[in-house]
Amino acid sequence: MRLVSFGERGQERVGVAVDGDILDLVTADVTLPDSVVGILEQDAFDAVARAVESGRGTRISEDGVRLGAPITRPSKIVCVGLNYHDHAAEQNVSLPEHPLLFSKASSSVIGPYDEVVLPEECKQVDYEVELALVISCQATRVTEADAYGYIAGYTVANDVTGRDIQFRQRQWHQGKSYDTFCPLGPYLVTKDEIPDPNTLDIRLMLNGETMQDSNTDNLIFNVPTMISRISHAMTLFPGDIILTGTPAGVGIFRDPKILLKAGDYMETYVAGIGTLKNNVK
């Protein structure tokens, strides 16, 4: 199942991607919640499946409607830094002994095809393709063995970063949190469609040229380890997002550096989930 948010910014409705169309779920079953987070909170996946099978409801061509982020305003976005072996190698740094956690403001979230806007004060803005986990239900001190039971599904993220702000402040929150710095989507792909999230190809192209090309089998801390470690530090809620880290190839560590500029076009891909397509202005 591929859940979506669709419609104008701030007025998104919940839908399901079906054969190139978006099924407006509330028109198929008025008892369903009107957001993806609502579906997670009510564990309404069976009701959604019945609505799809019923044949009722309004269907809109996916090409004819704006897609928002599947989770438009998560209660939090938890990020794991330095979590790919190849990314650590390109920086020539030691592997972390524990997940390096930081946050990204939920107000940075935009849709999968929205524009990334370069802030005036950021002179070194970078791209980072990431697999994103979406939490299904409240999670506190979860064991690794139970971790998959707390995953609703997966989506694609681009952890856009103001590197000069990040390095100047010697912490990561502001440089990661500017408005539009978290393209997310295009779908929330439910976990039953992704048998193993630790074996997915992951890639970012900039203006048609491949910048990052790796696989999630290169993660230092795998998916269940991340969920367990994070949930031992903080309670996770339905719709919370975990960004799992980025592989090698980011612009700041290239020689010469390749950083984002107005007019650039990014395609951010994770196998089995989809591709973000974002212009930079």
| Burial 82-115, CB ≥16 within 10 A → b, else e | bbbeebbeeeeeeeeeebebbebbbebbbbbbbe
Compare 246 and 171 and report the one with higher pLDDT.
246
Domains defined for the chain, CATH in brackets: 2-68 (no CATH), 77-279 (3.90.850.10)
Distances (CA, A) of 36 to 16, 78, 146, 233: 10, 19, 23, 25
Proportion of the chain above pLDDT 90, given as a percent: 93
Q: What is the pLDDT of residue 88?
A: 84
Q: What is the pLDDT of residue 17?
A: 96
Strand partners, 270: 202, 274
pLDDT above 90: residue 216: yes
pTM: 0.96
Span 262-273, pLDDT tens digits: 999 999 999 999
Span 117-154, pLDDT tens digits: 999 999 999 999 999 999 999 999 999 999 999 999 99
pLDDT above 90: residue 92: no
pLDDT above 90: residue 8: yes
Q: Average pLDDT of the chain?
A: 96
Span 14-44, pLDDT tens digits: 999 999 999 999 999 999 999 999 999 999 9
52: tokens are: 């799809």
Find the length of the chain: 281
